[in-house]
Amino acid sequence: MKACIVFALAWVWSCMVSAETINPIDRKLDVCGRYEVFHINGIDTSLSAAALNLDRLALAYGNAHDGHLIHYFVAHNRSAGFLGDIQQTWLQILRDFPSLSWEIVLAVIKGFDRPEMTPAVIAEIRARFDRLNFMVPDASGPDLLYMQNQVQAYHQTGAKVLFVAHSQGTLFANTLYDVLAAGSRGYTVPAASMGIVSVANVTTGVRGAASSYVTNRKDLFVNGLRVFVSPEISPWNVDLPFTLNDPAGHNFVAVYLAFARGTIVASMQRALSQVAGTPNPMNPPISGRLTDYRLYGWGGYLDCSIGPNRHQSCPAIDTGFDMPLVRGGTAVTPPEWRPGSFDETVALANAHADSCLGYAELAWQYHRTPSFTPNIYGYRCGIDGSSSELSWIFSVLRSADSLERLTNSSFSTTTGGTGVTIRGMCRTPSA
């Protein structure tokens, strides 16, 4: 009875744990902090299954943390060596149980119970494949090097990184953590910027102060590893209900996300809140009138109607207002405040920005007229006039609360004359 009450409370709590899901147009900018979540799958997991895991995880957690959109990735590792072994085992089973088809055996291996077999036969089949389920991937060889290179390709300097690993994927997560923290392969991610949440943990512990794990008491794979491979494997810490969807109690979605969603989400929240970002190196201080902030925005203002490619179709460009020319990349010295054209702004940005990140995550100006004519143009990383960009601008401008919030967190406003200029920027740590 006590266990039932505890589980019921845990279930209610897990339903109440609200993921942070925001409208992407209200997001804070990556240059003000970036969160990356890498899901590392376990053995014998296809890319589609890993992608399903990740999408369900993203739906459970939400698309954001602390107002920033989370960048989710699958780190799909291969089950090297698994294939040859599974075939040998299969051939032996075929000799011993000639009436069984491959399809039925495969289903049993993957944790489904089948009516064609008695529980005893199912147990026998699973036992024969146990050594495969208990295989330990080579998490330090070429597979790791390849995965590290791939992670680096998507990682942006200064971002906070969380590995959410399932089963044997935790071995990769731990090793990646060690290698990246040590910088032993010429690329460093500070240990304080990384965390791990292990689901169905098969290791003796997860790396990192912000890390934790969730293991089901009835997880037959982890229990088997504990018996046959190492008794030092971390003990179970959640007791989830049995489900026919996965009698083995191991599946990422059907067991862990279905019954321990709240625990996983809370672990991720804790980890993402504790890991520390690092100063963005593409953050050159700008001298002059805006010394309080490091600016990343640049923008142009057009006095014409909204629409795609409006700078091309616009009959006239209004140059009657100040236009900040600020960029991330090489310096424009001194920063300029002067009237100018949109095309001129674009040309300057193209000349001085050296990457999308260093470029400008946000660039826009707002010109308020008595009739609130939305004469605004957004330009971001070479993508001009996207509807989401414009919608976001409007949502900010139409809401004093929102404006205040942004002002207090990471943005600044200046008011002058008939117009209001809002610049996208991040406060420096000292600001």
Partner 1 sequence: MDNRKSNVRWSLAALAVVVVILAVLLVMERPPPAIASVKSALGLQRDAPAGVPRERPICTSPVNPNVAAPTNCIPQHLANLPPDPGPAGMLTIEGIDADKDGVRDDVQRFIAETYGDSQRAVLALTGLAKLALKEVELGDSVSKEQAQTLAPEIMKAAVCFSRSVSEELINRRASELVQIKVTNTPERYERLQKFENLLAGVYPLNTAPTPEVCGYDPALLPN
Name the residues that contact partner 1, by CB under 8 A: 38, 46-49, 51-52, 54-56, 58-59, 63, 71-80, 82-83, 86-87, 90, 101-104, 106-107, 110, 112, 115-116, 143, 146-147, 150-151, 153-154, 243, 245-246, 251, 253-254, 258
Task: Give the residue with the Cβ less far from partner 1, 64 or 271.
Answer: 64
Task: Give the residue with the Cβ less far from partner 1, 193 or 412.
Answer: 193
**Whole-angstrom distance, CA of residue 27 vs CA of residue 31:** 12
Task: Give the residue with the Cβ less far from partner 1, 87 or 350.
Answer: 87
Look-up: residue for tokens 């906070």?
Answer: 160
Which residues have C-beta within 8 Å of that of residue 190, sequence separation ≥ 6?
181, 276, 278
Q: Which residues pair with 164 in a beta bridge?
A: 39, 197
In terms of C-beta distances under 8 Å and separation of at least 24 residues, what long-range contacts does 340-348 make, across chains too? 340/300, 341/300, 341/317, 342/300, 342/301, 342/302, 342/311, 342/314, 342/317, 342/377, 343/311, 343/317, 344/300, 345/298, 345/299, 345/300, 345/379, 346/300, 346/311, 346/379, 348/298
Task: Give the residue with the Cβ less far from partner 1, 56 or 226.
Answer: 56
Which segments of 330-426 does DSSP mark as H helices, in order?
Answer: 342-352, 356-359, 387-397, 400-409
Task: Give the residue with the Cβ less far from partner 1, 77 or 365.
Answer: 77
Residue type, 128: R
At its nearest, how many Å lie between partner 1 and the CB of residue 317?
Answer: 33
CA distances from 261 to 26, 27, 90, 345 (A): 26, 24, 35, 48
Task: Give the residue with the Cβ less far from partner 1, 80 or 356.
Answer: 80
At its nearest, how many Å lie between partner 1 and the CB of residue 25?
Answer: 13
At its nearest, how many Å lie between partner 1 and the CB of residue 137?
Answer: 11
Task: Give the residue with the Cβ less far from partner 1, 250 or 367.
Answer: 250
**Whole-angstrom distance, CA of residue 344 vs CA of residue 347:** 5
- State the DSSP code for 32: G
At its nearest, how many Å lie between partner 1 and the CB of residue 107?
Answer: 5
Task: Give the residue with the Cβ less far from partner 1, 131 or 289.
Answer: 131
At its nearest, how many Å lie between partner 1 and the CB of residue 153?
Answer: 7
At its nearest, how many Å lie between partner 1 and the CB of residue 423?
Answer: 27
Look-up: residue for tokens 């862990």?
Answer: 256
Structure-block tokens of residue 429? 């740590």
Residue type, 204: T
At its nearest, how many Å lie between partner 1 and the CB of residue 103?
Answer: 4
At its nearest, how many Å lie between partner 1 and the CB of residue 74?
Answer: 5
Which residues have C-beta within 8 Å of that of residue 171, sequence separation ≥ 6?
136, 137, 139, 202, 203
CA-nearest of 142, 179, 185 to 163 is 179
